[in-house]
Amino acid sequence: MFGIIGLVLLHICVFGVFILHGGSMDVIAHAAPAELATILGAGIAAMLVGNDLDTIKGVAGGFGKIFGGSKWKKQDFLDVIFLVSRLMKILRVDGPVALESHVENPESSAIFSEYPKILHDHHLVHLITDTIRLMVISSGNLNAYAVEEVMDAAIKEHMNHAGHPAHALASLAGALPALGIVACVLGVVKTMAAIDQPPTVLGGLIGSALVGTFLGVFLAYGIVEPMAGRLTQVIKEEGQIYHVVKQIIVASLHGHPQPLVIEAARVAISSHNQPTFGEVFDGLRGK
């Protein structure tokens, strides 16, 4: 919602003020289609050259994150705490073998099936199951610090890959002003070819050429760069759920009491999604 409000306000402040001060939109409206085709077309082409297909798909899908925010809400963080805590309780009470069926085939697991949204995210499921699989294979005799190091490496790699679309958008934002100059130069070339025309004609041609520079800067710093920044924020926010998983597993392996395990998980969540200690503790009582 705030993203849409921001875009509306941006256009009002730029074009509305321009019109209020006597500016005419005729030249901009006339030149914009061709200038936008040049600038955005070249920018998208450059993005295709510099990125793989997964990143391009991530950019396309990233607009939903930009305007819709993180897919993980407060209840999702509660659910992942409940899920991993139940698995660690089975490890502690029944032993590693009792977890084997859950980690080898989570789609058929009675525990995982209670949390379909989590089950749908294969990166999150793999982080949970792959780590617990290590415990099963080693019969629970794992060094907590070693497990933490492995999980940190897995999370870092995933977050690095998840951030590629935001980096691609940021690179596009950096290129747009220069591409606007390219469009402007082409407009100047067109103007020079009509140098024998009267001043009224030349004025229109020069104005059209300058629209290219304007649009390149406007798109870069008014739209694309803020979108890249917002996408980066959302990706980092979504990454918190992986740290919640890590904190529960590592704290459990250290043998910490459950209140400390809960608190270790809670502090990894941003304040607007962070459940209270009571919400987590009360939810775990019935599990």
d(CA 244, CA 222): 35
Prediction pTM value: 0.86
- Is residue 224 a part of any domain in this protein? yes
Q: What is the pLDDT of residues 259-273, one digit of tens each?
A: 899 999 999 999 889
pLDDT of residue 139: 64
Side-chain-facing half-sphere of 141: CA atoms under 13 Å: 2
**Tens digit of each residue's pLDDT (9 = 90 or more) over 132-176:** 888 888 765 778 899 999 999 999 999 999 999 999 999 999 999
Q: What is the Cα–Cα distance from 223 to 227, expressed in whole angstroms? A: 6
DSSP string, 197-264: S-HHHHHHHHHHHHHHHHHHHHIIIIIIHHHHHHHHHHHHHHTHHHHHHHHHHHHHHTT--HHHHHHH
- The type of residue at 258 is Q
Note the pLDDT tens digit of each residue in 171-225: 999 999 999 999 888 888 887 777 777 777 777 778 788 888 999 999 999 999 9
Domain count, the chain: 1
pLDDT score of 286: 61
Phi-psi region of 93 (alpha: psi -120 to 50; beta: other; left: phi over 0): alpha
Report if residue 276 sits inside a domain. Answer: yes
| 10 assigned to some structural domain | no
Residues 6+ positions from 120 with CB-CB distance below 8 Å: none
21 Cβ contact list (under 8 Å, min separation 6):
none
Position 149 in a domain: yes
Q: Is residue 286 part of a domain?
A: yes
28-32, 75-79, 111-115, 180-184: segment of lowest average pLDDT: 28-32
Per the domain annotation, does 76 fall within a domain?
yes
> What residues contact 218, with CB distance under 8 A and at least 6 apart?
14
Alpha-carbon 279 to chain mean position: 28
Whether 4 is covered by a domain: the verdict is: no
| Dihedral sign, Cα of residue 262, residue 268, residue 273, residue 274 | positive
Could you tell me the residue range of the domain that residue 222 belongs to? 28-287
What would the pLDDT profile of 40-74 be if each residue is shown by its tens digit? Answer: 999 999 999 999 999 999 999 898 899 889 999 99
Residue 91 lies in a domain: yes
Q: What is the dihedral of CA 22, 28, 30, 31, to 10 degrees?
A: 150
The CA radius of gyration of the chain, in Å to the nearest whole number, is 27
Label residue 82 by pLDDT band (50, 70, 90): very high
The span from the CA of 128 to the CA of 278, in Å, is 24
pLDDT of residue 46: 93
What is the average pLDDT value for the chain, to the nearest integer? 89
The better pLDDT of the pair 25, 154 is held by 154
